[in-house]
């Protein structure tokens, strides 16, 4: 299920991959995040620090990618994804990004982080 934390992690991850995407959090946003995700707030702050280091590292190979990818789906899969996105109350693009991020994370974990 998508929630604010999942979307925030996706935005932070996107920031690390693409210098043209920026998420700006104002002080009230940060205070709100701290209250909403008390257990995970330190992890979110640490993730922001890592992203900052990755993003401004001149040797970061990820910066060579645009972040755009055109994929053709069978119509039935497109329909199912659109229906699921609507049921989650999110856009199709955000839903697919969520699924891909989740799949890549699981794949990375299964392979032992290699």
Q: What is the mean pLDDT of residues 94-112?
A: 77
pLDDT band per the 50, 70, 90 thresholds, residue 1: very low
pLDDT of residue 76: 96
**Residue 111 pLDDT greater than 80, yes or no:** no
pLDDT band per the 50, 70, 90 thresholds, residue 100: confident
Rounded to the nearest angstrom, the gap between the alpha carbon of residue 9 and the centroid of all alpha carbons in its chain is 5
CB atoms within 10 A of CB 103: 10
pLDDT of residue 48: 66
pLDDT of residue 98: 87
Architecture per CATH, domain 69-114, reads as Orthogonal Bundle (1.10)
Determine if the pTM surpasses 0.75: no
**Residue 84 pLDDT greater than 80, yes or no:** yes
Q: Map out the domains of the chain as residue ranges.
A: 1-66, 69-114
Chain segment 13-69, per-residue pLDDT in tens: 555 555 555 555 555 556 666 666 666 667 766 666 665 655 556 666 766 677 788
pLDDT of residue 104: 78
């Amino acid at each position: 299920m998508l929630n604010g934390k999942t979307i925030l992690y996706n935005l932070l991850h996107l920031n690390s991959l693409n210098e043209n995407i920026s998420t700006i959090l104002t002080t009230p946003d940060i205070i709100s995040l701290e209250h909403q995700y008390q257990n995970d707030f330190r992890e979110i702050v640490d993730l922001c620090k890592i992203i900052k280091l990755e993003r401004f590292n001149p040797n970061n190979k990820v910066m060579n990618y645009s972040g755009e990818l055109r994929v053709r789906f069978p119509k039935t899969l497109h329909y199912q994804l659109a229906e699921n996105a609507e049921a989650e109350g999110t856009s199709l693009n955000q839903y697919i990004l969520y699924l891909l991020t989740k799949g890549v994370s699981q794949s990375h974990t299964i392979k032992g982080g290699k």
